[in-house]
Chains A and B, each alone.
Chain A
Amino acid sequence: MEEDGALLGAIARGSKAAFQSFYERHAGRLLGYVLRVTRDRSLAEDVVQEVFTAIWQKASSYQAEQGTPLAWMYRIARNKLVDRWRRGPPGVAWASEAERPVLALVQADPELSMSLERALEGLSPEQRQAVELAVLGGYTHEEAATELSVPLGTLKSRIRMALRHMRALLTE
């Protein structure tokens, strides 16, 4: 992964060869990820093109403190997907609103007296991770379960428990 950092440095200095190496290392997995979100090959290829164009333009802003080059690329890709989603259909297929329990949570309690932040602090580390990824982070439940290396059922029950706990705190 050190190699990725060095490649980004060279891209920032305008090296097409470094850009091509970075592409060859990561285009396949980026396409794999974007395809899973969009379920549309030509759209996914467009997004991959946008992401790499952004990498070319932004490489000089990459800072190691902000995570690995792959995490940085993930953030760029996620933003491109979100921007398309905001522009509305036809576009990216997202999990349904019903799968976003925070929506119900927030709508049920418009006058929340306690910050979400403090409510999150009251969770166990496992619950907090689950909520950060799947509820706040917009990961699908499957992605979050893969990420946390837990079975899907376990993830869902953690989220359920966490939301019950947060709701209790938020409506005290």
Chain B
Amino acid sequence: MMPVNHPPSERLLAYATGAADVPLRLLLETHLSFCPACSREVGRLTAPGGTLLEAVPEEPVPAGLFERIWAEASRHEPPRPVEGVPLPASVLAELPPAEAWRWHPVPGSGSRTARLVREAPGGCGLFLVQMKPGARFPRHAHRGGEEGMVLAGGVWDRGRFLEVGDWDSAPAGSSHELRADEKEGCWALIREECEDVKLTGWRGVLQRAASLLSH
């Protein structure tokens, strides 16, 4: 089944060019693993990078570099899939192992959250949310923007039912509540932007501008 709701195209551009911060990058990469349409768009946007690499003159590689790389790589086995949470290997490789995820229950809601990634202080975070079948995630306001997607099951948000791979965003200052699918519950991956995102440099500026503009 193809996702119906997709990230805005400036998000894909940010991903393709390296302008996305780590939580956004991982969130987009997860969406791409479900979405051939966005994958093709990213492929189009990154094609110049591939052509560039083909054109770059080769540099002589020092002897022994492969052995060094192999010594390092073979210590990092490809990540094992996590039962029930369909995160792609490319994302799992950037996360702490599932055993180390620290879960926090949301009191009285049948939901729990774990922060997977945190950018430097003042930055944003990537969260995993699990909701039991029929669970309600209580109404909450966002000081910063929120973007996320459904990993498994489904969820009602502001009158829309979102299914696997569907992208969703809530602008800063908005509030909403969520209700998980009655049968399957819901797993979601969410990027929360803190109130004072202070990324440095033009990427930060562009990113803030993009998020301002997309609402």
Q: Which of A83, A102, A143 contacts B22 (CB 8 A)?
A: A83
Cβ–Cβ contact B53 & A73, under 8 A? yes
Cβ–Cβ contact B50 & A74, under 8 A? yes
Question: Apart from A28-B61, A53-B76, A57-B76, what are 5 other A-B pairs with CB-CB below 8 Å?
Answer: A49-B68, A52-B73, A56-B74, A61-B90, A66-B32
Q: With both chains docked as a complex, state the minimum distance between the C-beta of B6 and any C-beta of chain A, in angstroms.
A: 13
Q: Does B2 contact A (CB under 8 A)?
A: no
Interface size class of A (residues with CB under 8 A): 35 or more
Specify which chain B residues have a CB less than 8 angstroms from the CB of A72 in the assembled complex. 46, 50
Look across to chain B and name the residue whose beta carbon is closest to the beta carbon of A24: B66
Q: Does B4 contact A (CB under 8 A)?
A: no
Interface positions of B (Cβ within 8 A of A): 8-10, 13, 16-19, 21-22, 25, 29, 32-33, 36, 39-40, 42-62, 65-66, 68-70, 72-74, 76-79, 88-91, 93, 120, 199-203, 205-206, 209-210, 212-214
Specify which chain B residues have a CB less than 8 angstroms from the CB of A102 in the assembled complex. 202, 205-206
A163 to B48, CA, bound (A): 21
Cβ–Cβ contact A138 & B19, under 8 A? yes
CB within 8 Å for A58 and B93 given contacts A23-B66, A70-B54, A116-B209: yes
CB within 8 Å for A57 and B22 given contacts A49-B69, A66-B43, A116-B10: no
Q: Which of A16, A56, A100 contacts B202 (CB 8 A)?
A: A100
Cβ–Cβ contact A146 & B78, under 8 A? no
Look across to chain A and name the residue whose beta carbon is closest to the beta carbon of B120: A86
A88 to B199, CA, bound (A): 11
A124 to B210, CA, bound (A): 21
Interchain residue pairs A-B with the least CB separation, the first 10: A71-B50, A28-B58, A74-B49, A61-B90, A65-B39, A67-B43, A32-B59, A70-B50, A56-B73, A137-B17
